[in-house]
Amino acid sequence: MHCKPNIAIDGPAGAGKSTVAKLVAKNLGYLYIDTGAMYRAVTLKALRDGVDLNDHEKLGRLASAVLIRLKVGSNGNLTVLLDGEDVTEEIRLPAVSNSVSLVAKVPVVRRKMLELQKDMARLGGVVMEGRDIGKAVLPDAQVKIYLTAATGERARRRWKELSDKGIRVDQRQIEEEICNRDFIDTSREMDPLAPAADAVIIDSTSYTIEGVVDLIVARVTGERQKL
Ligand code: CDP
C-alpha cells in the first residue's frame, strides 16, 4: 500500500508540464520526476556514440547499459546524470530535441525506461510527467492530468525558454520540431501520446502557470478528502 498517492501529468512538447509539475510537487511536498529527461539522456548517449537511430538493437543495448540518475536539489531543480556526468543542460540542446522521439519510439528502449520509472514511483508521493505516465507507467495514479496548449503558443513558450538560456533559435523552426515530435509521439506503436480515459484535460493556452498549478493541487486535495 502506498503512503502517498502518485500524480501523472502527460501532454505534448511545450505545454508547460515541467514548470507545472515542479511547482505542484513543491506545493504538495512530493518528488518531481521528469521522464522526458531520461529519454533525452539515452538520446544524447546515442548521438555521442554515433549510433544509427534506426538500429533498434543497438539502442536497446545502450539503454540497458547507461546509468541515468535524476537528482532533485533543495530548490526543486533537477540535475540529470548520465553515467555520473551532469548533462542537465546538454540534453535540452536542439540536436537532442530533434532526435529524441526517434529513440523514444523504440519498444526495447521504452520497456527499459518503464521499468526504471515504475520503480521510482513504487513508494508513492511522486509527480511524474511525460507522455505515457497515466496510461502505462502509473495506470493507478490518483490524479491524472493531460496538459496541452495551442501549437503556436507551445512553440512561443519553448522559444522563450531557450532564448532565456542564451540558445538562439528560430521560432518557426521550433514549431516545426514540436509538430514533428508530436507526430512521432502520437503515432508510434508502443504507448503513443494520448490522454488516459480518466485524465483531466487542461488546455493551458490562456491559463497562467499559477492557474494550472492551483487547479491540479485542488484536484489532489479534493481526491484526498474522498479517502
Ligand atoms: O519537455 P518537452 O516537452 O520538450 O519533452 P520531454 O518531456 O523532454 O520529452 C522528450 C521526448 O521524450 C518526447 O517528445 C517523447 O518522444 C519522449 N518521451 C516519451 O516518449 N515518453 C515519456 N514518458 C516522456 C518523454
The residue whose grid cell reads 510527467 is 129
What do you get for the CA distance between the two ends of the chain, in Å?
A: 14
Considering the four listed CATH numbers 2.60.320.10, 3.40.50.300, 3.40.50.11540, 3.30.300.30, the one that applies to the domain covering 7-226 is 3.40.50.300
CB distance 10 to ligand 1 below 6 Å:
no
**What pLDDT is stored for residue 184 in this prediction?**
97
Q: What is the model's pLDDT at position 53?
A: 97
Q: How high is the pLDDT of residue 224?
A: 72
- Element (DSSP H or E) covering residue 141: none
CA distances from 58 to 8, 62, 68 (A): 30, 6, 17
Residue with cell 531557450: 162
- What cell numbers appear for 80 in the block? 540529470
| Ligand 1 binding pocket includes 92 (Cβ within 6 Å) | no
* 3 state DSSP class of 107: helix
Q: Whose CA is nearest to atom 5 of ligand 1?
A: 13
Q: What is the pLDDT of residue 4?
A: 84
- Taking the CA of residue 11 as reference, the ligand 1 atom at the shortest distance is 3
Q: Please tell me the distance from the alpha carbon of residue 6 to that of residue 20, in angstroms, as a whole number.
A: 15
In short, whether 135's Cβ falls inside 6 Å of ligand 1 is no
pLDDT in tens, the chain (227 residues): 546 899 999 999 989 999 999 999 999 999 999 999 999 999 999 999 999 999 999 999 999 999 999 998 877 789 999 999 999 999 999 899 999 999 999 999 999 999 999 999 999 999 999 999 999 999 999 999 999 999 999 999 999 988 998 988 899 999 999 999 999 999 999 999 999 999 999 999 988 999 999 999 999 988 777 76
Question: In the chain, where are the structural domains located?
Answer: 7-226
**Burial bucket for residue 49 (CB in 10 Å: 0-12, 13-18, 19+):** exposed
What is the reported pLDDT for 3? 66
pTM: 0.95
Burial 168-186 (b: 16+ CB within 10 A, else e): eeeeeebbebbeebbeebe
How many helices and strands, by DSSP H and E, does the chain display? 8, 8
